Chains A and B, each alone.
Chain A
Amino acid sequence: MMAIIFATLSAALLVGWFGRRFFAIGLVAVALLLSIHLFLWEIHSPEYGFRMPWIET
């Protein structure tokens, strides 16, 4: 997944500079959505969900 995100973002930067702005914006939007998805997946724990019990007082 991370490789796909970096591939999409690199393509967005390349297309944004050398190609069509419309496609670049589409690619950067896909990169952001994939990044948000991966972020939520990374921080989700089967045990705690999205909670952080180690900082609860």
Chain B
Amino acid sequence: MFIPHTDADRAAMLHTVGISKLEDLFKDVPEKYRFPTLNLPPAQTEMEIATELQEISLVNESAHDLVCFLGAGAYNHYVPAAVDAIIRRGEFLTAYTPYQPELSQGTLQAIFEYQSNVAALTGMEVCNASHYDGATAVAEAVNMAYANFRGKRNKIILSPTVHPQYRQTVRTYTEGSPIDLLGDDPHSDLKASPDGLIPLIDTDTALVVVQYPDFFGRINDYTKLAEAVHSVGALIAVSVNPIALGLLKDPGSMNADIVTGEGQPLGIPLSFGGPYLGLFATRKEFVRKMAGRLTGETVDNRGQRAYVLTLTAREQHIRREKATSNICTNEGLMALASTVYMSLLGKNGLRQVAELCFHKAHYAAERIANLPGYSLWSPTTFFNEFVIRCPAPAAEINDLLLDHDILGGYDLSQDYPELGNHLLIAVTEMNTRDQIDRFVEVLSEVNHG
């Protein structure tokens, strides 16, 4: 199968090594633990495992079978066929990190183009070769900002409207450091404007983190907040949905210092939460403080344009305990997928997808808000997600929707107890008018029933 050795090969190789049997290779392994019996299911052939996994996958009811209005950080967008065709090429799929540039120009130039596209999209000057996901990218922004002030500023302010899982991840990452996280205590006013964070900002503040659109789908202008942050010399990070940036002003234009984001909407399948893609971009003055790999353009000894990993002295394999982060493996193939996606859509295609999301979401919101018993939770402008107040607990409504083969919204009471009857609804270009109408019709039954 995957081991090519014949009996003759094995015998010849053992002879060359100077031992008589395979077991003799393991004399350094303590005898009492050597060769345990592994209690695993018996080996299957390719044909058998293909069938078994087909059956397991069919136990699920996925967005393939159900109409999906669920988002909250992972979105059901169309993935063009060309994306998978490229990332399945063995030359990309089975290559290692491009540490040997002479044999890795394909991967290196693709990373360079990823950096270029993400910088353009976010309005930033530099972008690294990726983090694991939207959550860990925020955690790395926190680490970078803390290190930027050499530990002299301990306050990190997290808006309560940043994705709850991102904030939880930041808490785990900063557990061992003197960082104080504030801004998102359970009594926060979720409807307050982002400028409501301004009173918390002082000269002990290293970073303020906000989301754009925020977790509830709302579009806020962070220009004033950024001004307040900069007036005390602190930094501001904005976590984005990259599809929204096809339509909306980039955070760079609001003077953000760091832009992070979940890159999944850019051509990466839902795949039950991973692998996804952590976007991370910043201004040029922070390029040496940023974690992660970077590709730079240069020339070779024949005078040709070529690419190489650069500023590697920031990284763990050189700096060890003094590195900017421990990140090694990143999301290379997913970054490639997003690059192919952005290149296929281009400036007009990404705008088109963003507008489709916007219009369809607004159509859905308008129709739901007109149902008796339902209303929109916030009057603020939104992109493709919005919160509805329902006449029954969100979980009950989702159960009913599921009976009609609809994957309902995100039940906000899981993270915000005060939002007991509230659902976060996501609409993308994948949702047809018929699907939205059917969704609204089922919702209307709740009130009548």
Tell me whether A and B are bound partners. no
Interface residues of A (CB under 8 A from B): none
